[in-house]
Structure 1
Amino acid sequence: MSKPEHEALNISANQEQLDILDQLLKPEVQESLNTLVEQLPKLTELVNILTKSYDFAQSVATDDVLKNDTVSAISEIATPVVHSVKELAANAIEAKDRAEANNDVIGLFGLLKMMKDPQAQKLFRFAQAFLEVSSERKNQK
């Protein structure tokens, strides 16, 4: 490195140091630094907590056994629900198809006969309980 280049680097470094000193002499910067120094114990504690959290998240993210166990647990919970939803959807589709294909008129005696059906009774009890719960919740508001 030539002497002029070396001198230019020194001048540049000195100018940067002067700029930093000018910044540090500003009252608002000094006030901010004082506040920062006062809060250092809290900041240290916060950094330690964040470090521990990061380490935990990193270990969880890279733990294949935990990932597999989590997927298995979710699958165990979701599989019966998915099966029930599929069964309900299939029943609804089949009932819709049957209702569309059947053009019979359902009279009063037909309704009375249907009301004796155990599934209809279950539906009526559910509807009654649902309406009671809805009414209670509406009255609570």
Structure 2
Amino acid sequence: MSETITQIPSEQEIPAASLPKEDILNQLLKPEVQESLILLVEQLPQITQLVSALTKSVDFVQSVASDEVLKSDTVGAIKEMAGPVVGSVKNLAATVIEAKDRADASSETVSLFGMMKMIKDPQVQNVLRFMNAYLQVSGERQSGK
């Protein structure tokens, strides 16, 4: 009572390499296959250009990816550009931390006369000029929106 069911694949499911020559010829006689082949032949110059460009791109990417000198030069250039920035940020962070610690440790009151004396300090003047310019630029950008 057990029956074996065998399925015969349709012509489209069979790979072209396993088809006999007559079946390939029958496929080529179909109008939709002929239209597709004509379209493909018409597009061959563009396809050739695309494949050529892709081949050149792949070759370039492979040469760049395998060039150790280029890799080390790129890493060196990035480190060279980032080095001063990292140093400045570390210096700024250390200054902020030290200033915060000093402010936390100090309990002195700053009087009005003390503030007048501080205003004469060149660094305070520089910070005040910066704050003034920053507020002007910020205001201009806010009104420009």
TM-score range normalised by the length of the shorter chain:
0.7 to 0.9
Q: What does residue 101 of structure 1 align with? A: 105
Q: What does residue 30 of structure 2 align with? A: 25
CA drift at 1:100: 0.4
Identity of aligned residues (%): 57
User: What's the TM-score, normalizing by structure 1?
Assistant: 0.75
State how far apart, in whole Å, the 2-side matches of 1:20 and 1:91 are.
Answer: 84
Deviates more, 1:121-130 or 1:76-85: 121-130
- The root-mean-square deviation of aligned C-alpha atoms, in Å, is 2.7
Deviates more, 1:129-138 or 1:70-79: 129-138
Q: How many residues align?
A: 129
Aligned in 2, Cα 1:125/1:33: closer, same or farther, shift over 3 Å? farther
Structure 2 residue ranges without an equivalent (≥5)? 1-17
CA drift at 1:70: 1.1
State how far apart, in whole Å, the 1-side matches of 2:85 and 2:70 are.
Answer: 23
User: What's the TM-score, normalizing by structure 2?
Assistant: 0.73
Q: What does residue 90 of structure 1 align with? A: 94
Aligned in 2, Cα 1:101/1:21: closer, same or farther, shift over 3 Å? farther
State how far apart, in whole Å, the 2-side matches of 1:77 and 1:24 are.
Answer: 66
Given residue 88 of structure 2, which amino acid in structure 1 is its aligned partner?
A: S
More helix by share: 1
